[in-house]
Amino acid sequence: MKQHCAPGASGFTLVELVMVIILIGALSALGVGLFASRSAFSPLLATQQLAAATLLAQQAALAGNPGGSLRIEQSSDEFRFVVGAGTPAAHMFELPREGTSLTVGGSLPLIINFAPDGAPQSGTDTEFVFIGQSSFSTCLSSLGAVYRGPCL
């Protein structure tokens, strides 16, 4: 009896499939080892959350809303950023600290009020430094710009 193969029929052999499974297993074992020692929280996340809360408070000030302020707090187990503190429409962002601390040129809690042009009413640069397994700085300039890195 004569066997016929369909023209262009192709597939993977069992050896190729087993090799791919072994490679995927080895790569996943290496990946788990790289990320197992790291916390899900990082100072970078807190830096980004602070920048977002600051921009939200600035937008409220630019729109003429009463929520143009930002309150920054640090408790023993979390960071709290409250946009529009003391108003009914306040927005609160909370993050677990997990071994990270915040230092700022002043004491916490810190309240930053924004002028109608979006600049801080204090008129000075404010540098925030989150320190944990790594360290990240964020600067709120006297003109209202929020950027990563130290105030220059």
Mean pLDDT of 40-52: 78
* pTM (2 d.p.): 0.69
Q: Does the pLDDT of residue 34 top 80, yes or no?
A: no
**Per-residue confidence (pLDDT) for residue 120, from 0 to 100:** 92
Coil, helix or strand at residue 39: coil
Mean pLDDT of the chain: 82
Question: Burial, 81: exposed, middle or buried (Cβ in 10 Å; 0-12, 13-18, 19+)?
Answer: buried
Task: Name residue, tokens 């230092």.
Answer: 103
In the chain, what are the domain boundaries? Answer: 43-148
**For residue 41, what pLDDT is reported?**
57
pLDDT band at residue 127 under the 50/70/90 scheme = very high
Tabulate helix, strand, coil % of the chain (nearest 5).
30, 30, 45
* pLDDT given for residue 39 in this prediction: 53
**140's tokens:** 């709120």
Are 43 and 103 contacting, i.e. CB atoms less than 8 angstroms apart? no
Q: How confident is the model at residue 5 (pLDDT cuts 50, 70, 90)?
A: low
pLDDT band at 23 (very low <50, low <70, confident <90, very high): confident
CATH number of the structural domain 43-148:
3.55.40.10
As a whole number of angstroms, the distance between CA 66 and CA 54 comes to 15
Nearest alpha carbon to residue 71 among 115, 113, 129: 113
The answer to whether residues 90 and 83 touch, using CB atoms and an 8 Å cutoff, is yes
What tens digit of pLDDT does each residue of 52-74 get?
888 888 888 888 887 788 999 99
Instruction: Identify the sign of the CA torsion 17, 18, 22, 28.
Output: positive
